[in-house]
Amino acid sequence: MAKVITPRTVDYAEWYNDVVLRSGLAEYSAVRGCMIIKPLGYALWENMRAVLDQMFKETGHVNAYFPLFIPKSFLSREAQHVEGFAKECAVVTHHRLKLADDGSGVVVDPDAKLEEELIVRPTSETIIWHTYRDWIQSYRDLPLLINQWANVVRWELRTRPFLRTAEFLWQEGHTAHATRQEAIEEAERMLDVYARFAEEYMAMPVVRGIKTPSERFAGAEETYCIEALMQDGKALQAGTSHFLGQNFAKAFDVTFLDQNNQRQYVWATSWGVSTRLIGALVMTHSDDDGLVLPPRLAPVQVVIVTIPTVEEPQMSHARALAEQLQRAGLRVQVDTDPTKRAGFKFAEYELRGVPVRVAIGIRDIEAGTIEVARRDTKEKRSIPVSSAVEQIQQLLEEIQQNLLDRARRFVESNTHRVESFEEFERTIEECGGFVLAHWDGTAETEAHIKERTKATIRCIPLDSPSEPGRCIVTGKPSVRRVLFARAY
RNA sequence: CGGGGUGUAGCGCAGCCUGGUUAGCGCACCUGCUUUGGGAGCAGGGGGUCGUGUGUUCGAAUCACACCACCCCGACCA
């Protein structure tokens, strides 16, 4: 038992770290708050990226790439934006090192000070809108629908692998539109893309909603979000889409001439998801034996393990089956390594979250069967090798669906409606989860609740029906319930 | 940024309080044999600036001081 994972019931945070580190998704690096994304974690990200990229292209977007560095002066052009990010910026001040006089290594060369400091981008609105000024002259240049896959740096005080790292990988869409309405539609469209991706590929149910003013992105007029519920009852913001109004157009003077030859400021959106989604995936499906990955995103969907014996016809059987599965479009790995025992491999592939494991031993070959084990329920059964491809394909779909159903049931049974502040406090403290309650719409009440319970308004759900009620704190009238939770 | 913790082999740790031969254990690694359908057994072997610096001492992993790094918990944030 070389690799033991702390059970979730003992310490959820420790369990999370164990799963991430021991499954080989990522490890800590020599740089504080920055992680090394290992091949398994990166392959997962590549799969996510491929699907999202396709979805972005289907909705009319194209990719581009903007600089990593942003002149300091750009950041301060939009007042709220700079306020939101100033406290967590990495700053480049010099461009050269030199040998230390005492021979102790290298030091920053004071003569190589930059005239204007450069900020390592925490997000790219400013440099992109500075560029859009040149790209947009006419209504014919709009809409401008651009996405960028990049890394960004936010000097967070407290970091956790995938959930919050000082450097992270993400995509950021930045679009420009001729009308307010069109920009709002874009922001909503991309939120919908994210929600569909979360549910259809990650098998992770999400609540779509809008943020309250105090939780809005720095510089946005409206922030849309998808909120997911983790197994420990805490919420995780899984993606955001912002309607930026004309804030950045005004800050960077981006205007166009409309059909009536009138000069207008451009309307903007930005939207992003990050490697945080990998953390969300872990905390939605995984268990005390390690990762559980949804088949649609799993880097390896099927692993075929041969049970070694002296004579080894298993190998050729395994390779033949792998070939058939690959031809059917599946991602397959074959493990015929005779130096590790079967039990070790079983545990190892479970730890790494492979959805379906096939075992082939001499017994199976004699019986014309294979043993198929599914990761989500740990069930095993023998099936005839003749129908292996169809059955495995079907099983993968079943697993994908089961993960979503299971996660949905979890969210449903951990979403509570409360009518009083007392009930609210008790529910948050004892059950966690999502809490739907009436709120009077003021920042004061929101802050009060946060202070008392550490719960925040995750969003005002888009699909929430209007339902007259009274604020749980002030008793003032409210027209709909909002979604509260303690959050990551 | 506040609080706590930890730095000894790739990983996990013991040793430190009470200084003293060659720094030890488990896992992993290498070799051999036996095993092999749920994390194999035996035998042998390789691997160490004891986080860094300064000090105390005949002698420091061990004592003192300073520093650094990372992790965890909070406040802030994707």
The residue assigned the tokens 């070389």 is: A2
Contact call for residues A292 and A376 (beta carbons, < 8 A):
yes
The spacing between the Cα labelled CA in A237 and the C1' in B58, in angstroms, equals 64
Pairing state of beta strands A144-153 and A62-63? parallel
The CATH code of the domain at A415-485 is 3.30.110.30
The spacing between the Cα labelled CA in A159 and the C1' in B1, in angstroms, equals 14
How far apart are the C-alpha atoms of A130 and A120, rounded to whole Å? 16
Alpha helices by DSSP H, listed for A234-292, are 247-251, 276-285
Among protein residues, the one whose C-alpha sits closest to the C1' atom of B1 is A157
How far apart are the C-alpha atoms of A89 and A80, rounded to whole Å? 15
User: Closest nucleotide to residue A34 (Cα to C1')?
Assistant: B70
Q: What is the pLDDT of residue A82?
A: 87
Q: A302-395 is classed in which CATH architecture?
A: 3-Layer(aba) Sandwich (3.40)
Q: What is the pLDDT of residue A156?
A: 85
Q: Is A364 (CB) below 7 Å from strand B? A: yes
Angle between helix axes A388-413 and A276-285 (nearest 10 degrees) is 90
Angle between helix axes A276-285 and A39-58 (nearest 10 degrees) is 110
Chain centroid to CA A358: 30
Task: Map out the domains of chain A as residue ranges.
Answer: 12-285, 302-395, 415-485
Contact call for residues A69 and A119 (beta carbons, < 8 A):
yes
Contact call for residues A234 and A485 (beta carbons, < 8 A):
yes
Sign of CA dihedral A319, A320, A326, A332: negative
Report the alpha-carbon angle A39-A272-A45, nearest 5: 10
Q: Which helix (H) or strand (E) holds A272?
A: strand A267-274
Burial of A154 (0-12, 13-18, 19+ CB in 10 A): buried
The spacing between the Cα labelled CA in A27 and the C1' in B77, in angstroms, equals 22
Q: Give, as ranges, the nucleotides of chain B with any atom within 7 Å of a protein CB.
A: 1-2, 27-28, 35-40, 69-78
Q: What is the pLDDT of residue A106?
A: 76
Q: What is the pLDDT of residue A309?
A: 66
Q: Is A363 (CB) below 7 Å from strand B? A: yes
Q: Is A65 (CB) below 7 Å from strand B? A: no
Q: Where are the beta strands (DSSP E) in A363-480?
A: 369-374, 380-384, 415-417, 434-438, 456-461, 469-470, 477-478
Q: Is A349 (CB) below 7 Å from strand B? A: no
Contact call for residues A415 and A434 (beta carbons, < 8 A):
yes
Q: What is the pLDDT of residue A337?
A: 86
The residue assigned the tokens 């790439």 is: A65
User: Closest nucleotide to residue A214 (Cα to C1')?
Assistant: B77
- Tens digit of each residue's pLDDT, chain A (488 residues): 345 788 888 888 888 988 998 899 988 877 778 888 999 999 999 999 999 999 999 999 999 999 999 999 998 898 888 888 888 888 888 898 887 776 667 778 888 999 999 999 999 999 999 999 999 999 999 999 999 999 999 988 888 899 998 899 999 999 999 999 999 999 999 999 999 999 999 999 999 999 999 999 989 999 999 999 999 999 999 999 999 999 999 999 999 999 999 999 999 999 999 999 999 999 999 999 999 999 999 999 999 999 876 556 788 899 999 999 999 999 999 998 888 899 999 999 999 999 999 999 989 999 999 999 999 999 999 999 999 999 999 999 999 999 999 999 999 999 999 999 999 999 998 889 999 999 999 999 999 999 889 899 999 999 988 999 999 999 999 999 999 999 99
Contact call for residues A319 and A358 (beta carbons, < 8 A):
no
Q: Is A275 (CB) below 7 Å from strand B? A: yes
The CATH code of the domain at A12-285 is 3.30.930.10
Contact call for residues A25 and A44 (beta carbons, < 8 A):
yes
How far apart are the C-alpha atoms of A35 and A25, rounded to whole Å? 10
Q: Is A122 (CB) below 7 Å from strand B? A: no
Q: How far lies A238's CA from each of A49, A140, A235, A278, in Å? A: 15, 34, 9, 10
The residue assigned the tokens 């549910």 is: A199
How far apart are the C-alpha atoms of A413 and A137, rounded to whole Å? 53
How far apart are the C-alpha atoms of A333 and A322, rounded to whole Å? 7
